[in-house]
Amino acid sequence: MVRTRVAAVERRTAAQRRAGGSALSPPVSKGLFMSSIHCHFSSPRWQECTLSGDDGHVCGSAWLNGHRLSASGALKQLELAEGIEAWRKRMGDLNGFYALVRRRGNDMVAAVDRVRSIPLYYGVHAGDVYLSDDADWVRQQVDETQIHDEARADFELAGYVTGQDTLFRRVKQLRAGEALIVSDSDLGLTLSVERYFSFQYYGMSDRDDDRRLIRLEEVVEEACQQLVRMANGRQIVVPLSGGYDSRLIATLLARCGYPRVLTYAYGHRDNQEAKVSREVAQSLGLPWTFVEYSQEAWSQVADSEEYWRYQQWASGWSGIVNMQDWLAVKLLTEQGKVEPGSLFVPGHCCVTGFLLSSVFEAKRAGRLMEAGELTEALRQRHFILNESAEGEALFRERVLPRLAQDYPLDEALDPDEFIRQFVLFGWQERQAKFIVNSVRCFEFFGHDWWMPLYDRDFMAFWQSVPRHWLERRSGYVTFVEKLFAEVSGHSAPLGNAAQQSRRSLRARLTRLAAFRRGPGAHVKRLAKRLLPGLAQGNTLASTGRFPPEALERLRSQGYSHNGVAAQLFLERFSRS
């Protein structure tokens, strides 16, 4: 729990401001004023209701025991009268994707779900508390204009700001599985942040995979049935990649016979992801369409007001926006291939495959992971948007001290504890702030969304799988391939297109630092002339988003594709 008084927050933040700023104004929307608590909800998806004299707002859908709760039913879960532990239990029982706000005078509880799918931001200024789904509205209310250096370093290297911070020091965010509690007393308003859920790995030691696969089948079937009830006859649209997660969703929908499904893929013509996607859809008997990406298509939209309005709004001043679906959803909507208010179902999933092989080797050898190995694992997986010497120095100077406050970086760790810490970071940082947050794209173009592979019971299942299931996601991959074969009749495994692409010559060359900057850059230019496939760029052709001069400048400084996106965002929305 983090608890502080309003005056203390203001004293600290006023003394710690740094250089920078923002530009775009928030959209016009409804607001609500309450003495010292001010709430503002910009999305039309919010429902307003009252409960026992309290004012409440609900966004999204909360489920309990297989039933969708009404707005007032969801707000009942925020009741604190029985104590904090009873409150944690009630909140932990909830399923679905939601944000909840309940107020009584100057008391308030505001919560996000277990993956922060609908973010909430807050800040304190002149004795008042401000809460919103719009980070820029909060920024304006707390009179914050300067980006601070530590948050900028996170943003440059990871693409998101870690912890409860945003780019602006006095604008805070609730992390996944957290709630803000504001209490009134004779001493004034007190703010505390309570966590009710944490995605902790506590794997089982038994190897009864047959029983475990049966349970996994039950869990995904229940998640699919909940998805069907959410759709309620609407068109379901599945971004179907060449990987296992979206393939599982498509397979479940084909098996249950939902009548209105559209699958789609995108990227440059003949890319491997799209080839596998089409084969999956055809094998399952599902409609499929393709949206061709090109450098030219991206460049036509990349300097538009719409493009940057989306970037600023969806970022929440806390992370770059995952843009890969944006152009496809825009074009499919404009072309009428996707019906208004359709339910998009991306394959975003809690199943991680990013663990180091060394952690499994250490467990088998009965040794600890050395002090500092967690630091390097986090840096090499999450803080690599600039892999130059300057980028590593920035990590050591600015990012590492922040991480050390929350993670046991200087301790030798049992491999299972190492896994817990690594998975915890990935869940509450990269997954919540970059992967899950990409659903803003569907909202932006007037659609709804659902993520069955972040279902409560599916996440609980994955928290308890044995260690060998985490190694290359072996148990999960076996399950998906078997289920797909049963439903489609396609017996030959299709594999993972992304892994196949990463093994290609083009991908191997592109990942080498020498081919992005320095003396090896001319070799890459020569390779592009000799290997036409290399010249196509990545599968998304999305380097067309960037001005050529800026792309060349930032790539020469060691920035990756997302690193370039982060830098251009900061350059556009910062001012000295």
Judge if 27 and 118 occupy the same domain.
yes
Judge if 342 and 221 occupy the same domain.
yes
Residues pairing with 267 in the sheet: 292
Name the region of 518 (left: φ>0; alpha: ψ -120 to 50; beta: rest). Answer: left
Mode of pairing for the β-strands spanning 121-125 and 95-104: unpaired
Judge if 54 and 90 occupy the same domain.
yes
Residues pairing with 49 in the sheet: 56
Please give the tally of structural domains in the chain: 2
Mode of pairing for the β-strands spanning 37-40 and 343-344: unpaired
- Residue 184: count of CB within 10 angstroms of its CB: 16
Judge if 72 and 214 occupy the same domain.
no
Helix, strand, coil percentages in the chain from 3-state DSSP, rounded to 5? 50, 20, 35
* Digitized pLDDT (tens) for each residue of the chain, 576 residues in all: 555 544 444 333 333 322 233 333 333 333 443 358 999 999 999 999 999 999 999 999 999 999 999 999 999 999 998 999 999 999 999 999 999 999 998 899 999 999 999 999 999 998 899 999 999 999 999 999 999 999 999 999 999 999 999 999 999 999 999 999 999 877 778 999 999 999 999 877 667 888 999 999 999 999 999 999 999 999 999 999 999 999 999 999 999 999 999 999 999 998 999 999 999 999 999 999 999 999 999 999 998 999 999 999 999 999 999 999 999 999 999 999 999 999 999 999 998 767 889 999 999 999 999 999 999 999 999 999 999 999 999 999 999 999 999 999 999 999 999 999 999 999 999 999 999 999 999 999 999 999 999 999 999 999 999 888 888 888 899 999 999 999 999 876 676 766 555 445 455 555 554 444 445 544 554 444 444 444 444 688 899 999 999 999 999 999 999 999 999 999 999 854
Report the interhelical angle of 272-284 vs 244-256 (nearest 10°): 20
Judge if 15 and 138 occupy the same domain.
yes
Entry pTM: 0.89
Distance of CA 333 to the CA centre of its chain: 23
Domain end marker among 496, 518, 542: 496
Judge if 150 and 265 occupy the same domain.
no
Report the distance separating Cα 563 and Cα 554, nearest Å.
8
Judge if 325 and 187 occupy the same domain.
no
Q: What is the largest CA-CA distance in the chain?
A: 75
Residues pairing with 359 in the sheet: none
What 3 state SS string does 461-517 have? HHHCCCHHHHHHHHHHHHHHHHHHHHHHCCCCCCCCHHHHHHCCHHHHHHHCHHHCC
Is the Cβ–Cβ distance between 314 and 437 less than 8 Å?
A: yes
Judge if 60 and 141 occupy the same domain.
yes
Residues pairing with 182 in the sheet: 108, 191
Judge if 169 and 215 occupy the same domain.
no
180 domain-assigned: yes
336 domain-assigned: yes
Domain that holds residue 41: 2-195
What 3 state SS string does 246-257 have? HHHHHHHHHHHC
CATH code of the domain covering residue 37: 3.60.20
Collect all residues with Cβ–Cβ distance below 8 Å to 536 and sequence separation of at least 6.
268
